[in-house]
Structure 1
Amino acid sequence: MTKRIAAAAFFVLAAIAAVAPIRSYDYFWHLTTGRWIVEHRAIPQFDPLAVASAHVPWINGEWLYEIVLYALHGIGGDAGISIISAMLAAAIFAIAVLITSQDAGVALLIAAVGFAGASDRLGVRPAAAAALLIVIAIGLLGSRLRLAPLTIAYVCLTIVWINVHPSALLAPVLALISILQIRSAGGSPAGPPPARRQEAKTRQRAAGGPADEPSALRSIILAGASAIALLVNPYGWNAILAPLRLTSEIHSGAFVNAEWLPSTFAFFPLLYVTIGAVLLLFIGTKEKRANAWRLVIFALLAALAIRYVRNQGLYFAALPLLVPPIGNFSRRVSNGIAACALIPLAWVFQHDAHRPGIDDERFPARAVAALKSYNLPGNIYNVDQFGGLIEWTFYPERRALTDGRNELFREFIEADAVAHRDSRAWHAMIAKYGLVLAVDEYQNEKIEVLDVASGERRALPASLVRYRRRDWALIAFDDAAMVFARRDVFPASRLDAIEYRFIVPDDPGIGYANAEFRDAARREIARAKVQFGDIRVVRELEAGAN
């Protein structure tokens, strides 16, 4: 099996396996930002989207990705973005198969393992583009390009990278690490095996072509040029400092983000298994000096992946290029190894739903669409994961409270945590930001309250405590969220036509005081089924009312 056939076959199978609903909560605020940049022909210096963001400079190091995302969305919509995302994930590893010096069967197996490890990290997000760029970067560093074209290519890659994702800070570091290459011994991760490379070099010299530049000088020039190229962005030094400041804020405990948590063995065993396996291969390889640069890059990316979950995509994407050469095998053995690659690919395929578009279990698409159809004006309270969808749907007519950009909402995050515990702080926050609507998530745990009339403690659904029905009207819901409107803001006649008075979506089995209330709830459930479809919550409400 040739490398080209292997890479093409891998691309097709991986792309099919990678097609899945969009689940990244950041997707919609990236999309909205791309639209803002295109419409204003400028990059926002301060956040224009959410009402609770701090008035501090917004260093948006992903603006180029957002423009491209918005342009592609205009062509294919959410479904098209899902398919393009799958093709990007497949391309990352297909390219690695094509350029690695491993045997074709070995390359396929390593790429399949890497693909399985990265499958939940390479969604519709700038980090997926960064994973492609790190593969290209390592491929360039291991290539036999002459210094001038190599430097130009690496500088261009760095410029694109720093405007797509802050992991571009790795570009000059990788270039500097490449100083450890011993090219005559065959330390390149890409290209032909050592003997064929030396033969090609001899032919090149005989033809009068230039020999490879000295490794040390080459690496120093590349690292210096790449470091300078990092400054080619709208923010200058701040684009370099911003991710370092964000890391410092994460360590301070100002907020908790799952992506910034350490990768534990219990949740990510494949990460640790691959680290152990590759280290054993490095120990067993005879050409330790030739593979030293691979080992250093591998150790760097492995450490980053262990430290933060968000870095696993970079680690697994680069993995096929960092495993030391295992050797060439007979065609029969190579094909057998290649067949083993089907196992991780099949695992990825059977662990997901393969339909394009957005995941309506994560995004309140139906509920937000209903809110849009009501045309009720005003700012919207929301949990951060729904902020992007609200911004994409309503901005600039209505604004979300917050979204997933934690660095812009540090003060608000603290205030919101207090508001969840203190009703006075909750009402103060509602007044401060002029919030008249709410799109809130479901909470599994009920809240214990004291019944003033009877003196008894009762456990109530969170929505009945936080959004008391005398103050808020339930006007929409779906499998991801409930939508409420303030009664003191909108006319009763307007709310009467859209309100759901008798059902409690976050407690479908709630008891009804009498048959009249139960019958009214059943009528509302039937109306909800027509409005929102045969969704999970509606089915649970039907079962609870019977």
Structure 2
Amino acid sequence: MTIAASLPIARARRNLAPLCVTAATFLLLLVSGDSLLHDPDTLWQIKVGAWILDHRAVPWTDLYSLTRQGDVWLSTSWLSQVLFAATYSHWGWAGPVVLTAAAIALTMGLLLTFLQRHLELPYALVFCLLAMTLAAPHLLARPHVLALPVMVAWTGGLMAMADRSRAPSFLLLPLMVLWANLHGGFVLGLALIGAIGLEALWRAAPPRRLALAMRLAAFGLGALVASCCTPYGLDTLLGAARILSLGKSFSIIAEWRPADFSSFSPFAGALLGLLGLGLIRGLTLSPPRVLLILGATWMALAHVRSIETFGVLVPLVLAQPLSGWIRPASDAPRGLRMAPGAPAALAAVAIVLATASATATFAARHTFEFSTAQTPVAAVDLLAERKAARIFNSYGFGGYLIVRDIRPFVDGRSELYGEKFLMDYFAAEDGRNVSGLLRMLDDNGIDATLLTPDSPAAQILDHIKGWKRVYGDKIAVVHVRDDTEGAAAVPSK
């Protein structure tokens, strides 16, 4: 009787766990909300979103840059940009912080929900904590974060169908529509249809495989059509393809660089743990699951921004095979529905109301601020006073220049500039091609530069005739053309 009486309580605790984790994650991120505002790309994302709201249209050409004005540019994250702009216009920086924190918290809640289909709560929580830790460096107020819960829901839905040897439900297709409007990473979702579909075919009985393959093909076609349900239509795929065609420039942009193992990191620990799990416990997976894990690992090794995908995808792939190992002998309830009865419903309502109340109270008393390390305010004020119009800037300053209505030489919209331009730019800015730097300044009629203090190009211009440093602080240095030889430079602050 004691055991029987405890089962409803255990089920309620288990089924309330995703909501509790969502609320706890959200409040934790809210308290540390300034850490979400450390990426200069957030600035131009809001600027583009405001333009879309003002014009009731999406951009088809570049509106902001100095070097690519009028070139084709499609905003594959237009919906995220609108959400950021709308929340910022109403609540200042508190808006994007709350929006970003809610997306991350929802991601953790959904991940826990899917993992609990096969794993007990403690083990599912460990995987959620691992995913959060791996994604932490890239959890910023940017469109990819708003798409994270959609990615988890999509991937979890596909894996749930594959675990039952069934084709995905067409009810998942609205998720692809939403994903395609939020972020260009929706192409990963399209690729996962084939990869996870192989697992469903592998598990299916041979007589069912042909019919299952036909349904998978129909679902894949439907997903492809759904991905084009955006203001850009078929051109949505073109915009995503331009991002994937940056080639060698990926290795230069910080978030696209390969993973660095010169020092220990959570990602290194996760890989070693995965390897140890396979060696110690003799982990045996089906070939499609092995391919999924190898693919996620390769993506994370090739580009650090894919580490978050690794942290989400690998637990979902491993959950079902691990369920027979670490699940206790007793058959605990696996249902995802909340336990019946008023107590569980009241508990859920109380959690939601408490979270909303805490959010309102904290946001009213705390002023969120964008990272000053990304905003060269004083330097740009000086450039504005000097009426500098053609500025050669460091990559990270492009977003702030856009916000100040100054056309940047380059900014975070890498797909706009293309591989060759970016390779030439970084070679010049990094001091690897001095003649290329001077030629770039002359060919583009540059009359001032805005560079980071540690930029090799800034150090070079200190010794080049015809240029002089007129300002410097811990964030940025400014050089302007000086046709008078021997002119004295203004000392840096």
TM-score (norm. length: structure 2): 0.71
CA offsets 1:105-128 (integer angstroms, 9 cap, x no match): 111111101110110022122222
For 2:258, the aligned partner's letter is P
1:300 to 292, 295, 298: 295
Change in Cα spacing, 1:266 to 1:94, as seen in structure 2 (3 Å) is farther
Structure 2 segments unaligned to the other structure (5+ residues): 1-9, 205-210, 331-365
Deviation of 1:179 (Å) = 3.3
Taking the aligned partners of 1:399 and 1:137, their CA distance within structure 2 comes to: 38
User: CA 1:378–1:3 in structure 2 vs 1: closer, same or farther (change >3 Å)?
Assistant: same
Counterparts of 2:435 and 2:457, CA distance in 1 = 20
Deviates more, 1:402-411 or 1:276-285: 276-285
How big is the alpha-carbon RMSD for the aligned residues of Structure 1 and Structure 2? 4.3
Task: Provide the C-alpha distance between the structure 1 equivalents of 2:129 and 2:80, rounded to a whole number of angstroms.
Answer: 26
Aligned to 2:151: 134
Match of residue 317 from structure 1: 312
Paired position in structure 1 for 2:257: 261
Tell me whether 1:88 sits opposite 2:103 in the alignment.
yes
Q: Partner amino acid for 2:450?
A: V
Is 1:229–2:226 an aligned residue pair?
yes
Q: Is the 8 A contact 2:52 2:59 kept in 1?
A: yes
Aligned to 1:383: 394
Which residue identity does 2:222 align to in structure 1?
A: A
After superposition, residues 509-520 of structure 1 pair within 5 angstroms as none
Supply the distance in 1 between the matched residues of 2:52 and 2:414 (Cα, whole angstroms): 21
Equivalence for 1:125 = 142
Deviation sequence 1:281-318 (CA, Å, 0-9, x none): 568889967x6655443332222112222211222133
**Partner Cα separation in structure 1 for residue 272 and residue 16 of structure 2:** 30
Tell me by how many angstroms 1:462 deviates.
5.2
Deviation at residue 157 of structure 1 after TM alignment: 1.3
Choose the corresponding residue for 2:61, options 46, 62, 67.
46
Closer, same or farther in 2 for the Cα pair 1:247/1:143, shift >3 Å? closer
Pair 1:219 & 2:234 matched: no
Change in 2 beyond 3 A, CA 1:408/1:81: same
Aligned to 2:208: none
The counterpart of 1:37, out of the listed 52, 73, 91, is 52
How far apart, CA to CA, are the structure 2 residues paired with 1:423 and 1:182? 55
The question of whether the paired residues in 1 share the 8 Å contact of 2:25 and 2:105 is answered with yes
Alignment-derived partner of residue 3 in structure 1: 14
Q: Does the C-alpha gap of structure 1 residues 264 and 178 become closer, same or farther in structure 2, counting only changes over 3 Å?
A: same
Number of the residue aligned with 1:174: 192
C-alpha separation in 2, matches of 1:256 and 1:279 = 29
Identical columns (%): 21
How far apart in 1 are the matches of 2:218 and 2:376?
Answer: 51
CA distance in 2: counterparts of 1:35 and 1:269, whole angstroms: 38
Q: 2:352 aligned with 1:364, yes or no?
A: no
Q: Which amino acid aligns with 1:136?
A: A
Q: 1:219 to 1:284 in 2, by over 3 A?
A: farther
CA contact (8 A) 1:122 1:128 kept: yes
Report the CA distance shift for 1:148/1:323 in structure 2 as closer, same or farther (over 3 A): closer
Report SS of the residue matched to 1:137.
helix
Matches of 2:483 and 2:489, distance apart in 1: 16
Provide, for residues 341-364 of structure 1, a one-character-per-residue CA deviation record: whole Å limited to 9, x for no partner.
xxxxxxxxxxxxx99432212332
Seen in structure 2, the aligned counterparts of structure 1 residues 375 and 147 have a Cα distance that, compared at 3 Å, is farther
Question: Is the CA contact 2:41–2:412 (under 8 Å) kept in the aligned structure 1?
Answer: yes
- Asked whether the 8 Å contact 2:63–2:70 carries over to 1, the reply is no
**Conserved? CA contact 1:473–1:486, under 8 Å:** no
d(CA) in 1 for partners of 2:273, 2:226: 35
User: Would you say 1:408 and 2:419 are equivalent positions?
Assistant: no
Aligned residue among 164, 169, 181 for 1:163 = 181
The answer to whether the Cα contact below 8 Å between 1:385 and 1:403 also exists between their aligned partners in 2 is yes
**Residues 90-148 of structure 1: per-residue CA shift (max 9 Å, x gap):** 32122211232211111111110111011002212222233322201022224579999
Instruction: Give the alignment's TM-score, normalised by structure 1.
Output: 0.65
Q: Is the 8 A contact 2:93 2:370 kept in 1?
A: yes
Q: 1:110 pairs with 127, 132, 137, which one?
A: 127
Please tell me whether the aligned partners of residues 154 and 189 of structure 2 are also in contact (alpha carbons under 8 angstroms). Answer: yes
1:255 touches 1:406 (CA, 8 Å); kept in 2? Answer: no
Inter-partner Cα distance in structure 2 for 1:329 and 1:387: 54
Distance 1:78 1:481, change over 3 A: farther
Question: Which residue, out of 221, 236, 240, partners 1:239?
Answer: 236
Would you say the 8 A contact 1:11–1:90 is kept in 2?
A: yes
Answer whether contact 1:78 1:358 (CA < 8 A) is retained. yes
More helix per residue = 2
Q: Point out the more displaced range, 322-331 or 75-84.
A: 322-331
- Pair 1:474 & 2:470 matched: yes
Q: 2:42 aligns with which of 27, 32, 35?
A: 27
In structure 2, relative to structure 1, the CA distance for the partners of 1:487 and 1:237 (3 Å cut) is same
Q: Structure 1 98/49 Cα, relative in aligned 2: closer, same or farther at 3 Å?
A: same
